[in-house]
Structures are given as structure tokens and as C-alpha cells.
Amino acid sequence: MTRQYFGTDGIRGTVGKHPITPDFVLRLAHAVGRVLKQTEARPTVLIGKDTRISGYMLESALESGFNSAGVDVVLLGPLPTPGVAYLTRAQRASLGVVISASHNPYPDNGIKFFSAQGAKLSDAWELAVEAALDTPPVWADSASLGKTRRMEDASGRYIEFCKSTFPNALTLKGVRIVVDGAHGAAYQIAPKVFHELGAEVIAIGCAPDGININEKVGATHPQALVDAVKAHRADFGVALDGDADRLQMVDADGRLFNGDEILYLMVKERLSRGGKSSSKRAADAVPGVVGTLMTNMAVELALKDKGVELVRAKVGDRYVLEELEKRGWLLGGEGSGHLLALDKHTTGDGLVSALQVLQACVRSGQTLAELLADLTLFPQTLINVRLQPGQDWKANTQLPLATKAAEAELGNNGRVLIRASGTEPLVRVMVEARDAAQAQACAERIAATLR
């Protein structure tokens, strides 16, 4: 079966347009509640959100929908997506719910879910929810309605969890860090995490007003971080996105490091300490890392030189996670900055990933550039082509011809990847080659056939 509402990361869209409307979200919560009650008499769900103004409306709709199905609700307030995942597991809740559209601009919003173990849910679970949406509601009677309460110390609990992933023997004293919260869910939390570990913190992108989330700041607009690091002569810069599950970093020279580079550094740091990138659950597995179809070819080759296999999953952190769990491996991620260290957390966490990088730098006494001196990324050109309403891009007869021509030109020195976005009406054209000009030219020719 094909999912009607769920994309690669929950349900997302423009607020006020189906399905991101209060009536649909109420029905969605009611349907989820009914699915939960098939296996649990009195479920409890946690609800967190980012800083979008629409979060209030959607939170109320979710609360009503869950309560109407006889499900209790705990409101967490503004909290990073990985914070909701952590608290869901720590509180032994039935489900975690996040109201966020991640890196999208403020007119968008979305709903995503975490299991009781703090992990993304399966396609089968999402299909069960969609099936329940197609059936009439079964309203609980007054005596069976769910109740709602607020967890006042949710952010403090998550701060302590983040700090626990940084070695007790190390400190960030003497380190100056610019922290960019993208005016999002970590706007209060992120500066405190680094400050309480000893760092001098300069905060930017930490003044949300409901409509400025991800606006010219954060992991998707890292120039603000680059400029601030230079202006304040900081040692590091850390940029998160709106829900703080994505990370980009900057060094003292203002050089930007993406998720592919950070993932490689995390693997290299583990290996330098005699650690493994595979877990004890599958100790006989070949040490390996999971990337995606978009992971830079240079990372794959550099890992191979260290005897570490790279396996590519479909784009989306949920698919990276599925592949990691299937193989019993620990480390994976995407160039966008979604990074997974399953011995630290069950899901991608921008703050935890940043602390892994800082740990490597503090322990080695080296800069980011020094630690990554043996990795030079291949140039990638990514062009997003927005689709017109009703446009069937797969029926385009010129696209396969242009793609084959580009692949023939690149040979063994590059690759072409064309895929539809799971969250927006876009087709992403990516060309990777040793030569940047060649990658750009090939990508432009392919994209032109879609416009």
C-alpha cells in the first residue's frame, strides 16, 4: 500500500491547507489514539513543538484528538525533536509527538511520531494510522476521556541528558562557541548545554517570535554562523535547524563543515580510541557506517581506506536508522547534518552530535580542519526544481536521455542522482564529480529538462 499522508518524516505541509488544518490534525490524533488502544488500555503520549506560531493551534487539536480517544497527554512545550524522543523513552510513554516542519520556513508545519523506545515508527504503523483515518471516529464517553498535564521541567531534563553524552573527564572551559538556534526549538536549551559544560557561549538565532524560525539563520543558512564566528573570534560555531535534529559546524577560520564531514570525523574519532562502529549486538559484523544516496563519494573512499564499509540508504534519517538497526551498526547520517550515534541516542540529535565533535577536538588538541585533513569532498551540484501542480516528472521523456548523457560523460569520475523530495513538491537533481565545473554543467542540463 502507498501512504497517502505520511512522507519521509511524518506529515508536513502549509498551515491552513490540507492536511495541516486543525480539523484534520484532530482526526489524526484520534486515529493514532485508536491504534494505540489496540494494544494498551490507557496510553500516554508526550507532545513537544518548535517555535512556529501555528504550534499553539496544532497542539490544541492534537490534545483534543487524543483525549477524545481516551488517551492521556503530557505537554512538553518548545523542545527539540530529539528531546521529545528522549523523554518518551525516559518516561515510558506510549508515543512521542513533535509539532514541527524542521528546516522549512514558518508557514509550514508538520506532525511526526516516536515509538515508546524513542525511535521513528515503521511504514506499517503509519499505514495502520491511515487506515484508521478512513473509519468513523469512536468518541470516548465522559468517564473514559483522556486527561492532559504539562511537564514543567522538560527542557531541564533534556539538557542533563545532552550533557551526559559528553565525557565527565573533559571540559569545554577556555573554548568560545557561537551557538545558532535557528530561532527554533533549542533556542533556550542549546546555549545552556554548552555553557554548563564550561564553554563561553555567544548565542545567535535564539530570539523566536513565531515567524522567524530558520529565517537567514540556522543549519540551512550557515552564513550567519560563519560571520558570527569570525566577528567574535570564536573557536567553533554550532548551527542547528528549527527542531534541532540537524547540525552544521564552523571552525575558527570560518570554514563550514557539513554532515558528511562530521560523520567521517565521528567514525575516525571512534577508531582512534580503539572503538568500533559496530555494536556488541552484532560483534561479528564488519564495522560499517550508513550514509545515504547523497553521501559524498569522497567519504566512501576515505572510510574504505580505513577498512570501514559505507552502505547507502534511501534519503531520510528514518531509512538510515532502519539500515543501522538491521546491521547492528552505530554510526550513520546525512550531509544535511542528520547524524546518528545509536550508543548515545535513538535518533538524530544536533546537540549530541556537536558534543561528539567537540569531544574529539578537546581530547586530541586538534582543530576540525586538522582532524579532517585526510578528507577532501568531491564537488556536488544540487539543483531543486519546483514542480507545477499536477506535473508528472517521471513521464518526462527528455529526462532519461539527459541523465544517460551525463552519466556517459562522467564515467567513473562521478555520479548522477535524481529523486523527489519527501516533504516538498520538488525534484532534486544531484551531480557529483571530481571536477566542479563538469558537475555544474551536467546538473544544469538535466534540470533544464524538468523546467
Tell me: the pLDDT tens digits for 73-122?
999 999 999 999 999 999 999 999 999 999 999 999 999 999 999 988 88
Q: Which range among 118-127, 155-164, 280-289, 299-308 has the greatest average pLDDT? A: 155-164
pLDDT band at 50 (very low <50, low <70, confident <90, very high): very high
Question: What does the pLDDT read at residue 1?
Answer: 62
| Residue 77 near residue 97, CB atoms below 8 Å | no
| Residue 146 near residue 72, CB atoms below 8 Å | yes
Pairing of β 108-114 and β 11-14: antiparallel
CA dihedral sign, ordered 161, 166, 168, 173: negative
Cell, residue 148: 492532559
Here the CATH number for the domain that contains residue 216 is 3.40.120.10
- Answer yes or no: is 115 within a domain: yes
141 with 39, same domain: the answer is: yes
Q: What is the DSSP letter of 209?
A: -
| Residue 270 near residue 331, CB atoms below 8 Å | yes
Strand order in the sheet with 44-49: 11-14, 108-114, 95-99, 44-49, 72-78, 148-150
Q: Is residue 251 over pLDDT 80?
A: yes
3-state secondary structure of 1: coil
Examine the residue annotation and report whether 102 is marked as an active-site residue of this protein: yes
- Answer yes or no: is 3 within a domain: no
B/e letters for 260-287, b = 16+ CB within 10 Å, e = fewer, are bbbbbbbbbbbbeeeebbbbeeeeeeeb
pLDDT mean across residues, the chain:
94
182 with 162, same domain: the answer is: yes
CA dihedral sign, ordered 412, 413, 418, 419: positive
- Answer yes or no: is 2 within a domain: no
Choosing from 68, 102, 277, 336, the catalytic residue is 102
Residues 6 or more apart in contact with residue 231 via CB below 8 angstroms:
none
Of 352, 371, 390, which residue sits at a domain end?
371
Q: 310 forms bridges with which residues in the sheet?
A: 289
244 with 267, same domain: the answer is: no
- Answer yes or no: is 4 within a domain: no
169 with 240, same domain: the answer is: yes
| Residue 423 near residue 104, CB atoms below 8 Å | yes
235 with 267, same domain: the answer is: no
16 with 141, same domain: the answer is: yes
35 with 94, same domain: the answer is: yes
15 with 127, same domain: the answer is: yes
- Answer yes or no: is 344 within a domain: yes
Residues 6 or more apart in contact with residue 61 via CB below 8 angstroms:
22, 23, 25, 26, 29
Of 319, 343, 371, which residue sits at a domain end?
371
The residue-averaged pLDDT of 380-384 equals 94
Q: Which domain holds residue 273?
A: 259-371
- Neighbouring C-beta atoms of residue 104, cutoff 10 Å: 22
Q: How many domains does the chain have?
A: 4
Cell, residue 318: 528514518
Q: Of 120-129, 184-193, 223-232, 355-364, where does mean pLDDT reach its minimum?
A: 120-129
193 with 79, same domain: the answer is: no
Beta strands in 15-156 (DSSP E): 44-49, 72-78, 95-99, 108-114, 148-150
- Answer yes or no: is 176 within a domain: yes
67 with 166, same domain: the answer is: no
Pairing of β 288-292 and β 309-313: parallel
3-state secondary structure of 13: strand
Report the alpha-carbon distance of residue 269 to residue 308 in Å, rounded. Answer: 13
Q: What is the DSSP letter of 395?
A: G
Tell me: the pLDDT tens digits for 273-297?
876 666 544 333 337 999 999 899 8
Question: What does the pLDDT read at residue 276?
Answer: 60
The residue-averaged pLDDT of 175-198 equals 98
Report the alpha-carbon distance of residue 95 to residue 145 in Å, rounded. Answer: 17
- Answer yes or no: is 60 within a domain: yes
247 with 280, same domain: the answer is: no
| Segment (H or E) for 448 | helix 436-448
Report the alpha-carbon distance of residue 320 to residue 312 in Å, rounded. Answer: 8
- Answer yes or no: is 86 within a domain: yes
Task: At 58, give phi and psi (nearest 5°).
Answer: -70, -35
Judged on CB neighbours under 10 Å (0-12, 13-18, 19+), 252 is middle
Q: Is residue 299 over pLDDT 70?
A: yes
What is the crossing angle of helices 398-410 and 436-448, to 10°?
170
Question: What does the pLDDT read at residue 2?
Answer: 76
174 with 285, same domain: the answer is: no
Which of 231, 155, 228 is closest to 239 using CA atoms?
A: 228
Here the CATH number for the domain that contains residue 394 is 3.30.310.50
Tell me: the pLDDT tens digits for 332-361?
999 999 999 999 999 999 999 999 999 999
The residue whose grid cell reads 576515505 is 302
User: Peptide bond before 19: cis, by omega within 30 degrees of 0?
Assistant: yes
Of 354, 371, 388, which residue sits at a domain end?
371
